[in-house]
Amino acid sequence: MYEGRTGMESGKIMGHENMGKVIEIRNAVTQIKVGDMVCLPFNIGCGHCQNCESDFTGYCLKMNPGFAGAAYGFAGMGPYSGGQAEYLRVPFGDFNCLKLPEDASEKENDYVMLSDIFLTGYHATELAGVKPRDSVVVYGAGPVGLMAAHSAIIKGASKVMVVDNHKDRLKLAEEFGAIAIDFSKAPAIDQILELIDGKGADRGCECVGYQCCDKHGVEHSNITMNELVMTVKAAGSIGVVGVFVPKDPKSKDKLQKVGHMDFDVGNF
What does pLDDT average to over the chain? 92
Rounded Cα distance, 4 and 137, in Å: 31
More confident: 206 or 262: 206
Q: What is the pLDDT of residue 21?
A: 95
Q: Percentage of the chain surpassing pLDDT 90?
A: 72
Residue 252 confidence class, pLDDT cut points 50, 70, 90 = confident
The residue extents of the domains of the chain are 1-108, 117-267
Homologous superfamily, domain 1-108: Medium-chain alcohol dehydrogenases, catalytic domain (3.90.180.10)
pLDDT tens per residue, range 70-109: 999 888 889 999 989 899 999 999 999 999 999 998 999 9
Q: Tell me, rounded to whole angstroms, the distance of Cα 188 from its chain centroid.
A: 21
Q: What is the CATH T-level fold of the domain 117-267, as seen in this structure?
A: Rossmann fold (3.40.50)
pLDDT for residue 26: 95
- Decide whether 1-108 matches 117-267 in CATH topology: no
Taking the C-alpha atoms of residue 240 and residue 36, their distance in angstroms, rounded to an integer, is 34
- Do the strands 98-99 and 37-40 form a parallel or antiparallel pair, or are they unpaired? antiparallel
Contacts of 217 (CB under 8 A, 6+ apart): none
Q: Is the dihedral of CA 66, 71, 76, 78 positive or negative?
A: positive
Give the single-character DSSP code of 71: B
Residue pLDDT, tens place only, 7-45? 777 888 888 889 999 999 999 999 999 999 999 999 999
Element (H or E) spanning 127, and its range?
Answer: helix 117-128
